[in-house]
Amino acid sequence: MATVHPRLDERLASFIARQPVFFVASAPSLNGSGAGGHVNVSPKGYRDTFAVIDPLTVAYLDLTGSGAETIAHLRQNARITIMFCSFDKTPKILRIYGAGRAVRPGDPDWAELARFFPPSHDGQQAGTGRGNRRAIIVVAIDRIADSCGYAVPIMELTDERDLLTRWAERRSADELDAYRKEKNRVSIDGLPALG
């Protein structure tokens, strides 16, 4: 049975901090009934890219990638679900539902939010404060629920991949901007993302 929580307490925040991966789901609304388009689910890694801002607000660091589905969907309808899933001996699934928004470098609240994320794993270039940080996704939580996770396998993390970090470190800020303009302008359904 799922348990609905009124806020993220210390126990839930501690669970979140221990998870090496989380999953983000969003969907567009391409017709009047709110349906249509492709539902997107993205795995997110690097433990230091997720932050509990307060008991009803979370944020994660959105790094440059091959698509920008979540940003496009949030621009259109703000709906987002984040799922944490324990792969250790204690089973648990935690889902956070809410309204999200993308904060971009240069936005008024960027500096305040960026302090929650240390400059590691993201190709952050010394002194620029930007690196591979494409956006910070901020979620105003409207539902928190956990469930058993009894069918989730027990797995052991051997290491975090550093491929995205190394990819970003080989590019200048201008090259990363050019990549985003080419690859992240619209979603797969043609919705504006970073364009």
| Averaged pLDDT of the chain | 90
Phi, then psi, of 166 in degrees rounded to 5: -65, -40
**Domain 3-183: which topology?**
Pnp Oxidase; Chain A (2.30.110)
Look at residues 96, 114, 85 and name the one whose alpha carbon lies nearest to residue 20. Answer: 85
Over residues 84-101, the mean pLDDT reads: 96
Among 38-52, 58-72, 85-99, 119-133, the minimum mean pLDDT is found in 119-133
Checking if the pLDDT of 31 tops 70, the result is yes
Q: What is the pLDDT of residues 120-175, one digit of tens each?
A: 655 554 433 446 889 999 999 999 999 999 999 999 989 988 888 888 889 888 99
Contact between 1 and 147 under an 8 Å Cβ cutoff? The reply is: yes
What are the extents of the domains in the chain?
3-183
- Bridge partners of 59, per DSSP, are 51, 138
Q: Would you place residue 28 in the very low, low, confident or very high pLDDT band (cuts 50, 70, 90)? A: very high
How far CA 122 is from CA of 35, 134, 140, 186, in Å, comes to 34, 10, 24, 22
How far CA 133 is from CA of 1, 63, 78, 138, in Å, comes to 38, 5, 20, 14
DSSP 82-105: EEEE--SSS--EEEEEEEEEEEPT
Question: What is the SS3 assignment for 183?
Answer: helix
Q: Find how far residue 126's CA is from the centre of its chain.
A: 23
Q: What is the pLDDT of residues 11-21, one digit of tens each?
A: 999 999 999 99
Q: What is the pLDDT of residue 52?
A: 98
Q: What is the pLDDT of residue 160?
A: 86
Q: Find how far residue 190's CA is from the centre of its chain.
A: 21
Q: What is the pTM of this model?
A: 0.91
